[in-house]
Chains A and B, each alone.
Chain A
Amino acid sequence: MMRDQKLWTWHVGAGVVILVLLGLHMTIMHLDAILEFTALNPAGGEPIDWQNVVARGKTLIFPVTYILLLGAALFHGLYGLRNILFELGPNSGLKKALSALLVVAGLGLFILGTWSALASFTLARSL
């Protein structure tokens, strides 16, 4: 019976994780001129310059945070979508089917995203 209490708590927790990691992302990407992140942008120029992206991609912290953000965003977004769909008034059988579909979609996207993050890490290390 604790299912909704549990899911809501994780939903809120995922929101906090997104807030922190997206804040980090915005800081690194858009405040570089003010904060001068020379360690993160060793080639100088823009944070999205290829050499800077490769340099950041070589450190393990980036794929780890990508995967963490991906998991948090997927859970947060798909749980919210599930709530919206449930408000359309499906019967209990359809609710279970929708939940299963969203879990499968979420896991599929998580696996795909994780593979992408690890592949980019491997690629960056090889350059």
Chain B
Amino acid sequence: MKDSTPKEVLYRVRRFEPGRDQVPHWQDFTIPRTPGMTVLDGLWTIKQTLDPSLSWRSSCRMGVCGSCGMLVNGRARLACNTQVTELGSGVVAVAPLPNFDIIRDLVPDLAPMFDSHAALMPYLVREDVAEQEKPTGEFAQSQEELEHYLQFSYCIKCGCCMAACPTVATDPVYSGPMPLGQAHRYNADGRDGGFARRREVLSGERGPWRCHFAGECSRVCPKGVDPAKAIQLMKRELVWDYIRLRKAPRPACVSPKPTEIRRRPDIPEAPARTI
């Protein structure tokens, strides 16, 4: 059977060099198509063989680090996680993520997103600081409690959701789906006691109130996280909080290390703690 797959692929890349370009422009590159080629592979081929000045951000090549989020054929995706063949076209149009300033070529300025993220305290907030610094055990958590936030913890902060969000596109004050989703991830964590502190940000203009549930953030998320759901759950929590009906759970207590359990001789001893 004859292979009808084209031997070449056209990359249409959005270029912008600060200081030289006034506005971004498109540049075309034709490169050989190889089996299993991802959009990121193609960018590397262009950089190594045609134009070494082409810039983008990438690291792990396996959809884990979240560095290579970009707009591929009109949709925010991870370049490393997108096969050229799955695009179903002989043209791969690659542009930086929308809703961010461009630093250069395909490199968006993600700093505002991470500023909003940091403002919402994306970590466990607890009173027992000493226990967190020098743990004497583990914070107890049931499987059911884990499932309240587990899917939101898969977020890799790639910014694809921010690029797809129509509210982020129009409202510079709105925190956006990634920071809000991560705020909910910690608010929903039974080990956390930081709801009241995060509420100081969430109850104002930077909170979830401008979301109109377009759901684009969830549709484009390469990790299958549902930030739109997190935002609606957060709104519900904040409404219950305002009318004083929110059950404020106490942060999970410390479950002491078991003392009467002996390691089986056929199981090797755990390595020493490094932190």
Contact of B207 among A5, A86, A87, A89 (CB under 8 A): A5
* B interface SS class: helix
**Closest CB-CB distance, B210 to chain A, in whole Å?**
7
Residue from B199, B209, B235 having most chain A Cβ neighbours under 10 A: B209
A83 to B86, CA, bound (A): 39
A3 to B203, CA, bound (A): 7
A59 within 8 A of B: no
Task: Give per-residue flags for B221-251: 1 if the beta carbon is below 8 A from chain A beta carbons, else 0.
Answer: 0000000000000010011011100000000
Task: Give per-residue flags for B188-219: 1 if the beta carbon is below 8 A from chain A beta carbons, else 0.
Answer: 00000000000111111101011000000000
**Closest CB-CB distance, B64 to chain A, in whole Å?**
35
Flag if B171 contacts A4 (CB, 8 Å).
no
A12 to B236, CA, bound (A): 10
Flag if B242 contacts A4 (CB, 8 Å).
no
A9 within 8 A of B: yes
Name B207's closest neighbour in chain A (CB-CB). Answer: A4
Flag if A4 contacts B209 (CB, 8 Å).
yes
Given A5-B202, A8-B235: A87 and B167 interface contact (C-beta under 8 Å): yes
A7 to B201, CA, bound (A): 15
Given A1-B203, A2-B242, A3-B204: A8 and B171 interface contact (C-beta under 8 Å): no
Flag if B239 contacts A9 (CB, 8 Å).
yes
Q: How many residues of B contact A (CB 8 A)?
A: 20
A41 to B120, CA, bound (A): 57
Given A83-B210, A86-B171: A5 and B238 interface contact (C-beta under 8 Å): yes
Given A1-B200, A83-B210: A6 and B242 interface contact (C-beta under 8 Å): yes
Query: Which chain B residues lie closer than 8 Å to A7 at the CB level?
Result: 209
Query: Which chain B residues lie closer than 8 Å to A5 at the CB level?
Result: 199, 202-204, 207, 209, 238-239, 241-242
Flag if B242 contacts A87 (CB, 8 Å).
no
Apart from A4-B209, A83-B209, A87-B210, 9 more pairs, CB < 8 Å: A5-B199, A5-B203, A5-B242, A9-B238, A12-B239, A83-B210, A86-B171, A89-B170, A89-B172
10 A-B pairs with least C-beta separation: A5-B203, A2-B203, A9-B242, A4-B209, A1-B204, A87-B170, A9-B239, A8-B209, A5-B238, A5-B242
Q: Please, could you name 25 A-B residue pairs with CB atoms under 8 Å apart, sorted by A? A: A1-B203, A2-B203, A2-B242, A4-B203, A4-B204, A5-B199, A5-B202, A5-B203, A5-B204, A5-B238, A5-B239, A5-B241, A5-B242, A8-B209, A8-B235, A8-B239, A12-B239, A83-B209, A86-B210, A87-B167, A87-B171, A88-B170, A89-B170, A89-B171, A89-B172
